């Protein structure tokens, strides 16, 4: 059974090939499911779930993130060998480091609590009526 993360939780994750591994300590500040076009292109999937941590809570413990600047000031981290999308940081939102929820070893530990950028959601992907829906960002911090 999956326990909700708390301050003592250590979450681990990594890419498909195993070259890049990370560890996150404590519960995420926020979680979301993003429907933006940029997340879609970055992954080839219809949407992308994020777990947002203080940057000091996340440590790369194996391999090196390759970085692609997908918009000015936005850096997406991925494995250069297998291509798995792993991280997101934004210069105008310093101090936070997002990891892709589905790259966690236990993605059930941090389910999305809201859906964002629903204005760009694909018509064939159903919204989850149990979650708050935001046309763009929900708050300046997300």
34 binds Zn ion (CB under 5 A): yes
Assess 19 for contact with Zn ion (CB under 5 A). Answer: yes
Decide: is 17 part of the binding site for Zn ion (CB under 5 A). yes
- Nearest approach in angstroms of CB 119 to Zn ion is 12
Residue 57 or 103: which CB sits closer to Zn ion?
A: 103
Among 11, 79, 86, 109, binds Zn ion (CB under 5 A): 79
CB under 8 Å to 33, separation ≥6 — which residues? 47, 48, 49, 50, 112, 114, 115, 116, 128, 131
28, 110 Cβ separation under 8 angstroms: yes
For residues 27 and 88, which CB has a smaller minimum distance to Zn ion in the complex?
Answer: 88
51 binds Zn ion (CB under 5 A): no
Choice from 24, 27, 30, 36 touching Zn ion (CB under 5 A):
36
Distance CA 21, CA 133 (A): 31
Angstrom distance (rounded) from CA 133 to CA 117: 8
- The torsion region of residue 26 among left (phi > 0), alpha (psi -120 to 50) and beta comes to left
Q: Return residues touching Zn ion (CB under 5 A).
A: 15, 17, 19, 34, 36, 39, 79, 81-82
């Amino acid at each position: 059974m999956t326990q909700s993360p708390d301050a003592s939780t250590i979450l681990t994750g990594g890419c498909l090939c195993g070259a890049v591994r990370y560890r996150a300590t404590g519960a995420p500040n926020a979680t979301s499911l993003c429907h933006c076009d940029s997340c879609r292109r970055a992954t080839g999937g219809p949407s992308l779930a994020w777990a947002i941590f203080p940057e000091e809570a996340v440590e790369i413990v194996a391999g090196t993130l390759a970085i692609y600047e997908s918009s000015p000031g936005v850096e997406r981290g991925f494995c250069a060998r297998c291509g798995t999308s792993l991280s997101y940081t934004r210069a105008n939102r310093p101090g936070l480091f997002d990891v892709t929820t589905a790259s966690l070893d236990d993605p059930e530990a941090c389910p999305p609590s809201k859906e964002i950028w629903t204005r760009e959601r694909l018509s064939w992907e159903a919204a989850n009526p149990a979650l708050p829906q935001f046309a763009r960002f929900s708050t300046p911090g997300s």
